[in-house]
Structure 1
Amino acid sequence: MPKAPFRRAACALALMLVGASPAQAQREAQQGMPKMEPAAAPAEPDAIPLYGQATPGSAASEVWSKAGGVDYTVRNVTRPTLTPVLPDPAKATGAAVVVAPGGAFMLLAMDHEGWGVAHALAAKGIAAFVLKYRLLPTPGDEGEAGAYMMHKMMAGLPDPTRQPTLTDPEAAADGREAIKLVRANAARWGVDPARVGMIGFSAGAMTALQTVLTARPGEKPAFFGYIYGPQPRVDVPADAPPMFDALALDDPLFPSQGFPIAQGWLAARRPVEIHGYQQGSHGFGLGVPGTTTTLVMDEFVAWMAMQGMLTRR
């Protein structure tokens, strides 16, 4: 059984996954989950069904909430969508990034790790596409859902030194389809199909990684950002795309044990960059004020430029 400090860390993680800041999460972890206020589904006029007319599920299954009355989260997604957030044409670089929010495969932090990230990328001339991928089912009632998600998350994290066992193959399938959809509509959205990448946060990072590992040759993202995902080494394919790996060294969910996953990229002679921030906890999103995690998006974009992904063609 996990020790009490890890239980508190996991509880703090759960809070951050639903939109609470790391500092708020650490405070509220002692009292349980933050108040999740039911919310009407936001208007998503630009959301595109991921598989066209064949898209499974229904929007009616979705349970929307606001964490602390502020940030949108959604559960029970059965109908995946992709929402374009396009840059000013005068600033557009032609690069594109599919954005995968996190939430332990049971929830998506749509504001914190989705729309906010997409708008930050678009402001830098990068076309962004927020992926609302399919999730594992949770109870409809907020109170029941909180307890259920905590139980499932703890079961999926039996030991902080091991790879999480909580996964969802449908999320990776949606990641692969999102890359295909952006490339198929490259002319429509003004992007270069050879410069379509992905960035994911926590479970979204795991989704991005599985997209890379399971996509057929020629269909992988051109690059990807792996933001506060677990770090164990994986088998790296010879055609693996460049990886940007970022984690706070005080992450309570994935305590620092080096960066074996990045070492695997190096062993495979594939490009990789590592950022280990001194502070930031888990779920820092676009950054925790007062820490260097606030530089994560600037560094990711600078890294993209170093890979030649921002060069107009």
Structure 2
Amino acid sequence: MKKFLFFTLLYMLSKHQADAQEIIPLYAADAIPNSKPSTLVEKTEKAGNGHMITSNVTQPTLTVYLPPADKANGTAVIICPGGGYFILAAEHEGSDVAKKFNEWGVTAFVLKYRLPSAETMGDPTIGPLQDAQRAIQFVREKAKLWQLESRQIGIMGFSAGGHLAASAAVHFDQSFIPNPLKTSLRPDFVILAYPVISFNDEIGHKGSREKLLGKEPDPAKLKYFSLETQVTKKTPPVFLMHAKDDKGVKVDNTLQFAEALEKNKVKHDIYLYEKGGHGFGLKNPTSDVDWMKYVKEWMFGMDLILKRTSKF
């Protein structure tokens, strides 16, 4: 009986250690750029739909999800949950997605980015992008720590998190953070799920636009963050997914971004559901099609999930 209890406890301890995730601050506590002292208290709770959400983020972090050692292939993806720049959908657009990538041997990092607020930031319009750039910089500079290929680091985003990921993809040549080593801030690939892309009046998501840019946005910033106008030939390869009946973020966001990618001869692929609405995460409840299967095929086609060949 004592031997049974010993091995049961040993199993539970090893399982806990395997399931435990490392949470890394993006910056030193006294060195968060564009930050102001605040009394806001971060909260993580269940929303009415049962999803876990995080709000009032002032201390951005990366949560590391490591694949099994025998599957690890050196590719990494930084995941930006959605939430209209108001909250973060931390579970179904964050941790659940990270675990899926781990099954493929991909190391995943869930980014808990600051939500734009004049109470916590000097310039709320650049706060989230600073954190996305810092996440890319941090993972690339520490690549050997997790045995990653420094040229196989991508970014993924859902909804407003898709806007953030796409912002990082088109604005990598303008650094909003200190970058003394001149580390490349360009993601090597991008995955966008029902993303907010445009802030124009016709198709833009007004809630995300107002949270990021305010009620009366500066026209120059409006154009800068209407990302269909910012694509260049240097934009990294992109995979896009959207449902045609999405009433939260119109599918035209994805279509216009894809059109800009095509015009600039940027490699991209797209999967469109007929139905599904908005914010469903990994599983579209109206369809048996697993859209992540197409993401996996796309990554395989770019040699991002082949077995590692290099040594560290």
Same fold (TM over 0.5): yes
In 1, the alpha carbon distance for the partners of 2:125 and 2:279 equals 20
Q: Is the 8 A contact 1:75 1:138 kept in 2?
A: no
Q: Deviations over 1:78-130 (max 9, x none)?
A: 11000100100101111000000000101001011011111111111100000
In 2, the alpha carbon distance for the partners of 1:49 and 1:176 equals 14
SS where residue 61 of structure 1 aligns? coil
Instruction: Report the number of matched residues.
Output: 243
1:89 to 63, 69, 79: 69
In 2, the alpha carbon distance for the partners of 1:249 and 1:276 equals 7
Which amino acid is the alignment partner of residue 48 of structure 1? I
1:247 to 242, 251, 254: 242
User: Do residues 214 (structure 1) and 180 (structure 2) align?
Assistant: no
1:304 positional shift:
1.1
SS where residue 48 of structure 1 aligns? strand
Which amino acid is the alignment partner of residue 267 of structure 1? K
1:225 positional shift:
0.5
Structure 1, 71-80 or 208-217: larger mean CA deviation: 208-217
Q: Is the 8 A contact 2:160 2:196 kept in 1?
A: no
In 2, the alpha carbon distance for the partners of 1:278 and 1:46 equals 38
1:64 positional shift:
2.1
In 1, the alpha carbon distance for the partners of 2:51 and 2:95 equals 10
Name the structure 2 match of 1:205.
162
In 1, the alpha carbon distance for the partners of 2:84 and 2:280 equals 15
Q: Deviations over 1:229-277 (max 9, x none)?
A: 1355322122110000110011012334471111111111110111111
1:300 to 295, 304, 308: 295
Q: How does 1:13-92 map to 2 (within 5 A)?
A: 46-53=22-29, 54-55=31-32, 61-68=41-48, 70-92=50-72
Name the structure 1 match of 2:257.
261
Which amino acid is the alignment partner of residue 62 of structure 1? E
SS where residue 226 of structure 1 aligns? strand
In 1, the alpha carbon distance for the partners of 2:129 and 2:116 equals 13
Name the structure 2 match of 1:279.
275
- Percent of counterpart pairs with the same letter? 33
Name the structure 1 match of 2:4.
none
Name the structure 2 match of 1:183.
140
Structure 1, 106-115 or 295-304: larger mean CA deviation: 295-304
In 2, the alpha carbon distance for the partners of 1:194 and 1:276 equals 28
Structure 1, 177-186 or 194-203: larger mean CA deviation: 177-186
Runs of 4+ in structure 1 over 6 Å off: 57-60
1:305 positional shift:
1.2
Q: TM (normalized to structure 1)?
A: 0.72
Which sections of structure 2, spanning at least 5 residues, go unmatched?
1-19, 175-183, 199-227
In 1, the alpha carbon distance for the partners of 2:275 and 2:158 equals 17
Name the structure 2 match of 1:224.
190
In 2, the alpha carbon distance for the partners of 1:83 and 1:69 equals 24
Name the structure 2 match of 1:160.
none
1:61 positional shift:
2.1
SS where residue 84 of structure 1 aligns? strand
Change (3 A) 1:303 1:59: farther
User: Do residues 118 (structure 1) and 98 (structure 2) align?
Assistant: yes
In 2, the alpha carbon distance for the partners of 1:186 and 1:58 equals 33
